[in-house]
């Protein structure tokens, strides 16, 4: 066909595909065909018509649909998914869709629509969760402010057979579906607003929020979301009902703090998002020196409002120096970001410990900082390894009731191959704080490297429920567990999420891609990983990791080698 018969135009393309269609056909061919016919006539075609689209190709269980507007395309996709979810059917027989949406240039040859715009939509469909939608950045730019449903930013990803990365957005969050409410009272503490008018006070206000989360999570009978998941809401106008839905909780605490003239003023309110009423609200005014007593008082009021009785656990030790506390709060946010910020945090923690040698949290963070330095950031093993062990043990000796210190000790002892002591430290951390998401995530790492992959997957899922918007290393452990389970597609999707993509986890992404046979892409990811981590060798990884299972060890090494990572 000559070019004069080809028509180019900009179009929004929707690709919809039934999840697990072959399995459903094998189980019950007649019922599956009937259900697909009903899905097409009762859900897909009405949605397409209502939003001015047209189905231009049907391939068994797959549908290719054209719209003249990205807004219409996404509105139709949402209607399809929401209607499909509402249809009553047996869990094994329900037809769920994956949907990809792209806005791009297409070619109409008179009988079919072809081109890059269609190809990208087809690749996006494979990235969507069952019952979910995956859209490109070009589509998201068109729907902002026009579509009420929220899409979650998954960053740039390399999709199969595409040479350039595509910015990807998910509905709902690819890592989480609608989260069910726990049976016990569930709470998210939003970052307190800094009302001081001085940005220098921001770390202090953030510290108040973090300490409230830490203390509340130790309370028996409460389910408390981890701090990393709430900090995405910092500085933004929020709808507490939407926050509660996204985090899977019923109650939300919000407030503000002001530090001025040697005093701290806090306003706080506790909202029941199901009923819409305020359960409790109060105002506090104390001297800066009394800030820890203030935290205890706020904590007690919230627990009483939620649980109906005061069941406050044995308190953690409080620092004797307020300046040391300030330094520790600043270091909390820096340790895990990068090798550069880790070194900055090290300086802050050294000063904090010098000011208050009995400050357990500062010593625990110092131990964690030195452990990261030698295991992940390429700093010398000696003296950092020795410092990590000594500081972690001293932190627990100073404050046996601090779950965070127990978690750090458990992690470090595992890397010392002191397995029984490590397991005991993790168990005690969860006894002190069943909501300690970091402990659940760290235990996943240890379980996977011990060959207990199913346990590792269950533990990281528990961590992600407590921390739905996690820091990068949770996703690293999830991707690692998926790789160990030989689920390379899932591992690749996890490790391409923007939260972890350009971090230490990239070596596992390279290994997963290599196992899928994507050799060129695997080598590219390995090269990019080595730019940021030039010290990495397979030999160092083997000597530094708490590996207990030979089969798991060999499986990871095989992936690293196939990706082209250096031996020594």
Residues 262 and 344 in one domain: no
pLDDT tier, 90 (very low <50, low <70, confident <90, very high otherwise): very low
Structural domain total, the chain: 4
Give the pLDDT confidence score for residue 86 in this predicted structure: 59
* Residue 118: predicted pLDDT: 95
Same domain, 360 and 259: no
Q: Domain check: are 417 and 457 in the same one?
A: no
- pLDDT at residue 89 is higher than 70: no
pTM here is: 0.69
Find the mean pLDDT for residues 47-66: 95
> Which pairing describes strands 186-189 and 223-224: parallel, antiparallel, or unpaired?
parallel
292 lies in the same domain as 324: no
Give the pLDDT score at 4: 56
Q: Give CA–CA dist 15/53, Å, rounded.
A: 12
Identify whether 178 is part of a domain: no
pLDDT for the residue numbered 158: 66
At 260 the pLDDT is: 81
Beta strands in 158-240 (DSSP E): 166-171, 186-189, 193-194, 223-224
User: How long is the chain?
Assistant: 568
Question: Which among 478, 400, 464, 461 is positioned nearest to 433, based on CA atoms?
Answer: 400
Distance CA 188, CA 253 (A): 6
Find where tokens 């307190």 sit. 192
For 101-106, what is the mean pLDDT? 95
Check whether residue 414 and residue 448 sit in a common domain: no
73 and 162 in one domain? yes
Residue 179 has pLDDT above 70, yes or no: no
**Structural domain includes residue 329:** yes
In this structure, the dihedral spanned by the alpha carbons of residues 332, 336, 338 and 344, taken in order and rounded to 10 degrees, is 30
Question: Helix or strand or coil: residue 153?
Answer: strand
Per residue, what are the HEC states of 6-44?
Answer: CEEEEEEEEEEEECCHHHHHHHCHHHHHHHHHHHHHHHH
Does pLDDT of 338 surpass 80? no
Q: Do 152 and 206 fall within a single domain?
A: no
- pLDDT higher than threshold 90 for residue 245: no
For 87, which DSSP code? S
Averaged pLDDT for residues 528-554: 93
Mean pLDDT of 390-394: 98
In a domain, 412, yes or no: yes
Average pLDDT, the chain: 88
Q: Rounded distance, CA 329 to CA 553, Å?
A: 37
- Can you tell me whether residue 161 is helix, strand or coil? coil
CA gyration radius, the chain? 26
Rounded Cα–Cα distance for residues 460 and 494 (Å): 13
With respect to residue 283, please indicate whether it lies within any of the assigned structural domains.
yes
Nearest to 196 by CA among 254, 253, 262: 262
370 and 448 inside one domain: no
> Is pLDDT above 80 for 275?
no
Range with the poorest average pLDDT among 378-382, 497-501, 520-524: 497-501
Bridge partners of 17, per DSSP, are 62, 98
- Judged against a pLDDT cut of 90, whether residue 303 lies above it is answered with no
Angle (CA) 85 86 91, round 5°: 60
pLDDT value for 311: 54
The pLDDT of residue 57 is above 80? yes
Strands of 429-556 (E only): list them. none
Is there a single domain that holds both residue 78 and residue 47?
A: yes
Q: Which distant-in-sequence residues (6+ apart) come within 8 Å of 43 by Cβ?
A: 80, 83, 84, 87
Tens digits of residue pLDDT in 116-172 = 999 999 999 988 887 889 999 999 999 998 998 888 877 777 677 777 778 889 887
pLDDT tens digits for range 431-478: 999 999 999 999 999 999 999 999 999 999 999 999 988 888 999 999
CATH code, 200: 3.40.50.10610
Strand partners, 224: 187
pLDDT at res. 478: 95
CATH number of domain containing 365: 1.25.40.10
Instruction: Tell me the pLDDT band of 558, cut-offs 50, 70 and 90.
Output: very high
End-to-end CA distance of the chain: 56
Q: Does 172 sit behind a cis peptide bond, omega within 30 degrees of 0 on the bond before it?
A: yes
The listed range with the strongest mean pLDDT (143-157, 221-235, 543-557) is 543-557
The residue-averaged pLDDT of 389-405 equals 96
For 180-204, how does the pLDDT look when each residue is reduced to its tens digit (9 = 90+)? 778 889 999 999 999 887 888 888 8
Domain that holds residue 241: 186-307
**Of the candidates 434, 460, 495, which is a domain's last residue?**
434
Domain assignment present for residue 312? The answer is no
pLDDT tens-digit readout, 504-533: 899 999 999 999 999 999 999 999 999 988
Contact 264, 287 (CB under 8 A): yes
Residue 509, SS3 per DSSP: helix
Contacts of 561 (CB under 8 A, 6+ apart): 538, 567
Query: Could you say which of 434, 461, 485 is where a domain stops?
Result: 434
- Do 448 and 423 have their domain in common? no
Are 259 and 270 part of one and the same domain?
yes
Mean pLDDT lowest for which of 174-183, 292-301, 480-489? Answer: 174-183
In a domain, 461, yes or no: yes
**CA nearest to 124, candidates 155, 148, 102:** 102
- Domain's final residue, options 399, 434, 469: 434
> CA–CA separation, 185 vs 222, rounded Å?
5
Would 179 be classed as within a structural domain? no
Q: Which segment of 81-90, 343-352, 447-456 scores lowest on mean pLDDT?
A: 81-90
Nearby residues of 209 by Cβ (< 8 Å), 6 or more positions away: 189, 190, 191, 192, 227, 230
415 & 461 share domain: no
Assess if residue 401 is contained within a domain.
yes
**86: CATH:** 3.30.70.1230
**Predicted local confidence at residue 177, as pLDDT:** 45
- The whole-angstrom separation of Cα 443 and Cα 129 is 26
Contact 131, 53 (CB under 8 A): no
Which pLDDT belongs to residue 345? 94
């Amino acid at each position: 066909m000559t070019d004069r018969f080809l028509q180019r135009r900009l179009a929004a393309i929707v690709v919809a595909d039934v999840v697990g269609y072959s399995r459903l056909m094998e189980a019950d061919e007649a019922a599956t065909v009937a259900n697909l016919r009903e899905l097409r006539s009762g859900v897909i075609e009405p949605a397409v018509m209502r939003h001015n689209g047209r189905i231009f190709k049907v391939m068994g269980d797959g549908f290719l649909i054209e719209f003249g507007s990205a807004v219409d395309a996404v509105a139709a996709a949402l209607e399809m998914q929401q209607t499909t979810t509402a249809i009553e059917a047996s869990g094994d027989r329900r037809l769920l869709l994956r949907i990809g949406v792209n806005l791009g240039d297409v070619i109409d040859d008179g009988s079919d629509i072809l081109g890059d715009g269609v190809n990208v939509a087809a690749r996006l469909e494979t990235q969507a969760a069952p019952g979910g939608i995956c859209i490109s950045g070009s589509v998201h730019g068109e729907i902002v402010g026009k579509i009420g449903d929220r899409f979650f930013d998954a960053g740039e990803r390399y999709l199969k057979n595409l040479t350039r990365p595509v910015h990807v957005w998910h509905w709902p969050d690819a890592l989480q579906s609608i989260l069910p409410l726990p049976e016990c009272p569930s709470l998210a503490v939003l970052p307190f607003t800094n009302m001081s008018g001085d940005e220098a006070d921001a770390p202090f206000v953030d510290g108040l929020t973090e300490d409230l989360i830490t203390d509340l999570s130790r309370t028996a009978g409460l389910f408390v979301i981890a701090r990393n998941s709430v900090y995405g809401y910092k500085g933004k106008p929020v709808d507490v009902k939407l926050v509660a839905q996204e985090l899977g909780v019923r109650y939300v605490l919000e407030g503000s703090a002001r530090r001025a003239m040697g005093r701290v003023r806090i306003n706080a309110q506790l909202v029941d998002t199901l009923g819409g009423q305020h359960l409790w609200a109060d105002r506090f005014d104390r001297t800066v020196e009394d800030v820890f007593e203030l935290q205890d008082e706020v904590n007690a009021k919230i627990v009483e409002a939620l649980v109906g009785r005061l069941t406050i656990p044995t308190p953690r030790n409080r620092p004797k120096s307020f300046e040391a506390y300030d330094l520790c709060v600043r270091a909390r946010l820096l340790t895990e970001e990068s090798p550069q910020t880790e070194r900055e945090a090290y300086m802050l923690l050294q000063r904090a410990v010098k000011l208050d040698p009995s400050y357990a949290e500062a010593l625990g963070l110092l131990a964690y900082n030195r452990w990261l330095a030698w295991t992940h950031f390429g700093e010398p093993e000696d003296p950092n390894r020795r410092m990590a062990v000594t500081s972690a043990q001293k932190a627990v000796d100073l404050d046996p009731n601090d779950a965070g210190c127990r978690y750090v000790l458990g992690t470090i002892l595992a890397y010392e191959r002191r397995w029984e002591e490590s397991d005991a430290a993790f168990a005690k951390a969860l006894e002190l704080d069943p909501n300690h998401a970091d402990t659940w995530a760290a235990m996943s790492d240890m379980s996977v490297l011990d060959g207990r992959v199913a346990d590792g997957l269950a533990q990281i899922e528990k961590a992600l429920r407590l921390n739905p918007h996690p820091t990068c290393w949770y996703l690293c452990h999830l991707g690692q567990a998926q790789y160990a389970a030989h689920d390379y597609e899932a591992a690749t999707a996890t490790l391409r999420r923007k939260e972890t993509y350009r971090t230490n986890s990239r070596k596992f992404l390279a290994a997963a891609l290599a196992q899928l046979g994507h050799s060129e892409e695997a080598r590219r990811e390995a090269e990019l990983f080595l730019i940021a981590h030039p010290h990495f060798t397979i030999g160092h990884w083997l000597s530094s990791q708490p590996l207990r299972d030979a089969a798991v060890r060999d499986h990871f090494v095989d992936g690293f080698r196939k990706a082209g990572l250096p031996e020594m």
